[in-house]
Amino acid sequence: MNIVIGFNKSFKEANKTRKRYRAMKGSAGSGKSVNVAQDYILKLSDPKYKGANLLVVRKSESTHKYSTYAELTSAINKIYGKNANKYWKITANPLEMRSRVTGNSIIFRGVNDAKQREKLKSINFPTGKLTWVWCEEATELAESDVDILDDRLRGILTNPNLYYQITFTFNPVAATHWIKKKYFDYESEDIFTHHSTYLENRFIDAAYHKRMMMRKEQDPEGYKVYGLGEWGETGGTILNNYIVHEFPTNFENFDNMRLAQDFGFNHADAILRAGFKDGELYICDEIYVHEKDTSEIIDIANAYGMEKHLTMYCDSAEPDRIKMWKKAGYRARPVVKGPGSVKAQIDYLKQMKIHIHPKCVNFYKEITQWKWKYDEKRGIYLDEPVEFMDDAMAALRYLIDDKLKGNRLKSKKLNLGI
């Protein structure tokens, strides 16, 4: 086939390097993960690299389906179009991919517990050897996790075109992270480092640039990491009491279910479908869209199958939109707001265990980046969340609206008639 595919020029050297460690840090939207996925699909499809196989690793194995597996599948479809099935065999259970031309394979694993880490030691492929490892969101991994992977890349490669390599892709969230010390602060002929930002990504749209400029103004610390790809700090994270894993999301598995929506247009409109069970919160599904009007979002929710009999807690600042959702048959109701309500909601959420289904990728991105504002002059974090990329977090707060009823803060707001 004559394959035509677009790459960002900034990744040219990264795609060519044969060094054992390829550490690629960058901002959100820099295109690093898209590039790596396309790079691997092209190489694994090439008879020149016959005998190569790829292991893709994330902290939680269940997160692959909606991230790396989806990214690699997208790369195959982009490269081969309607001929994708002719050139690649893709299975969803288990998550695997195999080139029909070369026999080279891709498998997906996690390192969340001792059992999963032990499984890494016994990986085998129908043909060839494990030659390449891709660690996505590499800052989630412990150094000991990578040591296990590193030990698996050994033995003589009979094909002279093959080489052993571990690729790391990540946002550089903490300057104290072991990845910085091991690969960026240490010079070695075996290490290739790369830096990329959304500013170099020719495929980014104007609306994304606009949102990043908003972040630069509202969250300068976060912009350094997620806008410029610079090493940052992890301090000030609001919620850490969550876990990402697969779980049944049907209605009968929960004591109570509800919807919550934070309205948006230029910033995201976020709808969450969530359940409570034994006092713990489960984020089951999400709708997360930009630049859609209310009627369009209602159509999306209808097509998605959001249950109209569930109460939908909404931002009270948009009564007209709430009215439209009610007219469409949803049980939309405003969330009562008042002084101190955000802090009260956060305090309540901190006391809960939050389960996140891996399909809720936007919710996960937001909760990992949701931080307190930082006062640079005094060097302290304030009791105010950064008001950027927090649309799913606003919906999260609305989910527990009725849980706060009856406390003094809520009664005071109701007396004020808010």
pLDDT in tens, 399-418: 998 876 544 333 233 232 22
Query: Minimal CA–CA distance to 88: which of 105, 100, 72?
Result: 100
CB atoms within 10 A of CB 229: 26
User: Cβ contacts of residue 147 below 8 Å, gap of 6+?
Assistant: none
Q: Which amino acid is present at 224? A: K
What is the pTM (predicted TM-score) of this model? 0.79
Per-residue pLDDT tens digits for 313-348: 999 889 999 999 999 999 999 997 777 889 889 999
> What pLDDT does 301 receive?
96
| 111-116-122-128 Cα dihedral, nearest 10 degrees | -50
Contact 281, 274 (CB under 8 A): yes
Show the tokens assigned to 309.
Answer: 């009999």
User: Cβ contacts of residue 199 below 8 Å, gap of 6+?
Assistant: none
Show the tokens assigned to 354.
Answer: 């939050």
Preceding omega of 339 cis (within 30 degrees of 0): no
Enumerate the β-bridge partners of residue 97: 90, 106
Q: Which residue has the higher pLDDT, 235 or 93?
A: 93
**Distance in angstroms (rounded) separating the CA atoms of residues 219 and 30:** 18
- Write the DSSP symbol of residue 268: P
Per-residue pLDDT tens digits for 197-213: 999 999 998 888 988 99
**Distance in angstroms (rounded) separating the CA atoms of residues 106 and 142:** 22
| Phi, psi angle pair for 390, to nearest 5° | -130, 25
**Distance in angstroms (rounded) separating the CA atoms of residues 244 and 363:** 11
Per-residue pLDDT tens digits for 66-75: 999 999 999 9
pLDDT above 90 as % of the chain: 69
Q: Which residue has the higher pLDDT, 226 or 416?
A: 226
Contact 145, 60 (CB under 8 A): no
Confidence band, pLDDT 50/70/90 cuts, at residue 2: low
**Distance in angstroms (rounded) separating the CA atoms of residues 343 and 346:** 5
Kindly tell me if the per-residue pLDDT of 254 is higher than 70: yes
User: Cβ contacts of residue 153 below 8 Å, gap of 6+?
Assistant: 20, 130, 131, 133, 164, 165, 166
- What average pLDDT does the structure give for the chain? 90
- Write the DSSP symbol of residue 148: H
Q: Which of 37-41, 163-167, 244-248 has the lowest mean pLDDT?
A: 244-248
Contact 217, 327 (CB under 8 A): no
- Give the strand pairing for 191-196 and 105-110: unpaired
**Distance in angstroms (rounded) separating the CA atoms of residues 263 and 323:** 13
Q: Considering just the CA atoms, what is the radius of gyration of the chain in Å?
A: 23
E-assigned strands of 28-160?
54-58, 88-92, 95-99, 105-110, 132-136
**Distance in angstroms (rounded) separating the CA atoms of residues 412 and 32:** 49
Kindly tell me if the per-residue pLDDT of 4 is higher than 60: no
**Distance in angstroms (rounded) separating the CA atoms of residues 3 and 15:** 17
Preceding omega of 94 cis (within 30 degrees of 0): yes
**Distance in angstroms (rounded) separating the CA atoms of residues 263 and 332:** 12
Give the distance from CA 258 to its chain's centroid. 23
Confidence band, pLDDT 50/70/90 cuts, at residue 375: confident
> What pLDDT does 234 receive?
59
Per-residue pLDDT tens digits for 94-145: 999 999 999 999 999 999 878 888 888 888 898 999 999 999 999 989 999 9
Kindly tell me if the per-residue pLDDT of 376 is higher than 80: no
The three-class DSSP label of residue 286 is strand
DSSP assignment of 80-92 equals HGGGHHHHEEEEE
* Residue 376 exposed, middle or buried by CB count within 10 Å (0-12, 13-18, 19+): exposed
User: Cβ contacts of residue 216 below 8 Å, gap of 6+?
Assistant: 223, 227
The three-class DSSP label of residue 135 is strand
> What pLDDT does 311 receive?
96
Q: Which residue has the higher pLDDT, 270 or 1?
A: 270
Query: Minimal CA–CA distance to 269: which of 358, 172, 394?
Result: 394
Q: Which of 17-26, 222-231, 292-301 has the lowest mean pLDDT?
A: 222-231
Please, what are the domains in the chain?
A: 9-208 (3.40.50.300), 242-415 (3.30.420.280)
Query: Minimal CA–CA distance to 36: which of 215, 280, 158, 44?
Result: 44
Mean pLDDT of 19-33: 96
